[in-house]
Amino acid sequence: MDAGQHADAPKRSVLRSLLSFLFLVALVVGLSWLLREFVIQPYEIPSGSMETTIMTGDKVFSERVSYYFRDIEPGDIVTFEDKEIPGRILIKRCIATGGQTVDLIDGRVYVDGVALDEPYTHGLPSDPFASTLVDISYPYTVPEGELWMMGDNRTNSKDSRYFGSVKESSVTGKGCFIYWPLENFGVLQ
C-alpha cells in the first residue's frame, strides 16, 4: 500500500459518516411529515368553546386514521376546517350526521325527535343563535355529506348554530387525547 491510500481512508470515512447523518436527518424529517399529514396532528385550543371537556390552552392530538376505516359518528370530538377563516382548524363535538334532524327546544338538543343525554354540557342551555352567515331554522335536517357540530360549552361556542352544518370533507381528524398540561392529560370522550 502506498501513502496516498492511507490518506484517502479518513476522508472517505468522514464523507460516509456525513452522508449517513444526512440520510438519517432526511428520514426523520420525512417520517415526521408523513405522521403529521396522515396519522396525527397536534393542536392548541385557543378558546373556551369545548370547556370543561377541553380547556383553553390545552394541547390535543387529533388522529386521522379512524376515519379511513369508519364513518364519523355523533358524539365524536372532531377537528375540521373553519368555514369563516381559511386555514384555521376548529374542534367541536359531532351532534348529527347527514340525514338526521336537529331541533333545539327549551335549551335541549333533539336529534330525530329524541332528546340527547349530554352530561358534558353540565346543564348549559343549547339555545339557537342569531347568525349573519346562514339562515338556520329548526328543526334542521343535516344535508347528506355534512355534519352538525356543537361545542360542549353551549353558551360560549360559535358552532353549527352560527355557521351551519359543515362538510365531512372539511374534517381533519378525530380528537383523541389531551397531552398538555399534564394535569389535564387524558383521552377525549
Residue type, 171: V
Number of domain units in the chain: 2
Q: Are residues 158 and 169 in the same domain?
A: yes
Q: Are residues 33 and 53 in the same domain?
A: no
Q: Are residues 28 and 59 in the same domain?
A: no
Q: Are residues 28 and 45 in the same domain?
A: no
Which residues face 171 on adjacent strands?
80
Residue identified by cell 347528506 is 144
Q: Are residues 34 and 44 in the same domain?
A: no
- pLDDT tens for 33-54 read 766 666 678 888 988 899 989 9
- pLDDT tens for 74-101 read 999 999 999 888 888 999 999 999 999 9
pTM for this predicted structure: 0.80
Q: What is the dihedral of CA 126, 78, 133, 130, to 10 degrees?
A: 10
Q: Is-contact 64 38, C-beta < 8 A?
A: yes
Residue 108: domain span: 40-187
Q: Are residues 47 and 32 in the same domain?
A: no
Q: Are residues 62 and 29 in the same domain?
A: no
Q: Are residues 26 and 115 in the same domain?
A: no
Rounded to whole angstroms, the Cα distance separating 160 from 157 reads: 9
Q: Are residues 25 and 114 in the same domain?
A: no
Write out the catalytic residue numbers: 49, 92
Q: Are residues 9 and 75 in the same domain?
A: no
Radius of gyration of the chain (CA): 24
Q: Is-contact 58 99, C-beta < 8 A?
A: no
